[in-house]
Amino acid sequence: MQNKSLVPSSGRAGDNARVGRENQVMVHRTLDRHSRGIFSSIPDLASRKLSKSHLRKELEKGFEYRLKRLSLELDTDLHQVREESNHILVNTKTQLRRERMEFFARSYNEVMERFNDLTERFLTRLDERLQRLDRYKSPVIREREEQRLSRSIDIFIATLDQLVEEYRSIISEQVNHE
């Protein structure tokens, strides 16, 4: 008879199944060997039945112990897989958040540069128009044109502020994935 450990040493599911089958075969072989003996070591039938009953109970207890041990090892392995998965998930989330923030920072800078260029062009054109005001001989036309330019300045600044705020709200918007 081979001298194998009855309790598996590794926590792998394939090893556990193999060891479980081996244990079951060992139990059946032992019971067969004791029931096929030429001369029974216990002559009286009642004692022999009692002995077999005790032997069967002991073997069942050993088998139950092995099943509990395998279940414990399986639970340990599952816990380890969960922990590793959580670790990977946390690291991946951190990396994605960092990349997201870098992207938004870059895009915000690009948008602000475009707004600054747009503002420069607007102010250059506005300066030219304001210089033209002195050319108008009629005070009414000059006053009307000055009011129109003043309104366009207010509208431009308000629109620019609104666009910046809307862009900021897009960046800070929380997305729920349900």
Query: pLDDT (tens digit, 9 = 90+) per residue, 47-86?
Result: 778 888 888 888 888 889 999 999 999 999 999 999 999 9
The band of 36, judged by pLDDT with boundaries at 50, 70 and 90, is: low
Residue 76 belongs to a domain = yes
Count of all residues that appear for the chain in the document? 178
Examine the domain organization and report whether 107 and 84 are in the same domain.
no
At 78 the pLDDT is 94
Sign of the CA dihedral with 151 first, then 153, 157, and 162 last: positive
Residue 4 belongs to a domain = no
Residue 156 belongs to a domain = yes
Residue 71 belongs to a domain = yes
Examine the domain organization and report whether 103 and 166 are in the same domain.
yes
Residue 178 belongs to a domain = no
DSSP string, 133-176: HTT---HHHHHHHHHHHHHHHHHHHHHHHHHHHHHHHHHH----
Examine the domain organization and report whether 168 and 144 are in the same domain.
yes
Write the CB contacts of 131 (distance below 8 Å, at least 6 apart in sequence). Answer: none
Domain boundary among 45, 70, 89: 89
Residue 127 belongs to a domain = yes
Examine the domain organization and report whether 130 and 104 are in the same domain.
yes
- Over the Cα atoms of the chain, what is R_g? 43
Domain boundary among 63, 89, 115: 89
* CA–CA gap between residue 31 and residue 27 (Å, rounded): 6
Examine the domain organization and report whether 71 and 109 are in the same domain.
no
* CA–CA gap between residue 169 and residue 167 (Å, rounded): 5
Residue 8 belongs to a domain = no
- Counting residues of the chain whose pLDDT is more than 70, the rounded percentage is 83
Higher pLDDT, 85 or 13: 85
Examine the domain organization and report whether 22 and 50 are in the same domain.
yes
Examine the domain organization and report whether 167 and 146 are in the same domain.
yes
Find the domain containing 77 and state its range.
13-89
Structure tokens at 90: 């946390």
Write the CB contacts of 56 (distance below 8 Å, at least 6 apart in sequence). Answer: 31
Domain boundary among 44, 67, 89: 89
Report residue 2 CA to chain centroid gap.
Answer: 47
| Tally of domains within the chain | 2
pLDDT, tens digit, for every residue of 147-173?
999 999 999 999 999 998 998 888 887
* CA–CA gap between residue 152 and residue 171 (Å, rounded): 28
Decide if pLDDT at 31 tops 80. Answer: no
Residue 1 belongs to a domain = no
Contact 95, 39 (CB under 8 A): no
Examine the domain organization and report whether 142 and 82 are in the same domain.
no
DSSP string, 29-44: HHHHHHHS-SS-SS-S
